[in-house]
Amino acid sequence: MTGKRSSAFLLLMALGMGGVVPPLAAASLAASQNVPIELAYGPAPLQKLDYYRPSAQGFPLVVFVHGGAWTSGDKGNATGKEKTDHFLAQGYAFASLNYRLVPSCTVEEQAQDVASALAFLLAHAGDLGFDPNRVVLMGHSAGAHLAALVGTDMQYLAAARLGPDALRGIVLLDGAAYDVPYQIANVGKMMQRTYLEAFGKDEARQLELSPIHHAAAPNTGAFLILHVQRPDSIAQSNALAGALKDAGTDARVFGFDGKGLAGHLEINRRLGESSYPATPVVDQWLREIFGQK
Choice between 31 and 118, residue whose per-residue pLDDT is larger: 118
For residue 1, pLDDT beyond 50: no
Give the pLDDT of residue 76: 86
pLDDT of residue 12: 38
Which one-letter DSSP state was computed for residue 101? -
pLDDT at residue 28 in the model:
57
CA distance 55 to 79: 21
**Nearest alpha carbon to residue 25 among 34, 38, 9:** 38
* SS3 of residue 105 by DSSP: coil
129 CB-near residues (< 8 Å, 6+ apart): 53, 57, 58, 59, 93
For the stretch 241-292, pLDDT in tens is 999 999 999 999 999 999 999 999 999 999 999 999 999 999 999 999 999 7
What is 28-289's CATH superfamily? Alpha/Beta hydrolase fold, catalytic domain (3.40.50.1820)
Higher pLDDT among residues 290 and 76, named by residue: 290
Residue-wise pLDDT for 188-207, tens only, equals 888 899 999 999 999 999 99
Strand order in the sheet with 93-97: 37-40, 48-52, 93-97, 59-65, 130-140, 169-173, 222-229, 250-259
- Spatial separation of the C-alpha atoms in residues 81 and 119, rounded to whole Å: 25
> What's the N-to-C CA distance of the chain in angstroms?
47
Predicted local confidence at residue 9, as pLDDT: 34
pLDDT of 132 strictly over 60: yes
* SS3 call for 111: helix
DSSP label of 43? S
Write the pLDDT tens digit of every residue in 143-177: 999 999 999 999 999 999 999 999 999 999 999 99
Residue 63: what residue type?
Answer: V
For residues 149 and 145, what is the distance between their CA atoms, to the nearest angstrom?
6
Reduced to 3 states, what is the DSSP secondary structure of residue 150? helix
Q: Is the pLDDT of residue 67 over 60?
A: yes
The residue type of 19 is G
- Name the E strands within 244-289: 250-259
**Residues linked to residue 130 through DSSP beta bridges, in sequence order:** 59
| Residue-range domain boundaries for the chain | 28-289
Can you tell me the mean pLDDT for 232-238? 97
Return the pLDDT at 56. Answer: 75
* Confidence class for position 58, pLDDT limits 50, 70, 90: confident
Instruction: Tell me: pLDDT of 27 over 50.
Output: no
pLDDT averaged over the chain? 90
| CB atoms inside a 10 Å sphere around CB 137 | 29
The sign one gets for the Cα dihedral 83, 224, 261, 205 is positive
Give the whole-number percent of the chain exceeding pLDDT 70: 89
Cα–Cα dist 144/262, whole Å: 17
Q: Where would I find the beta strands (DSSP E) of the chain?
A: 37-40, 48-52, 59-65, 93-97, 130-140, 169-173, 222-229, 250-259
Buried b or exposed e, range 162-179, using 16+ CB within 10 angstroms: bebebbbbbbbbbbbbbb
**Which range is least confidently modeled, 3-12, 50-59, 86-95?**
3-12
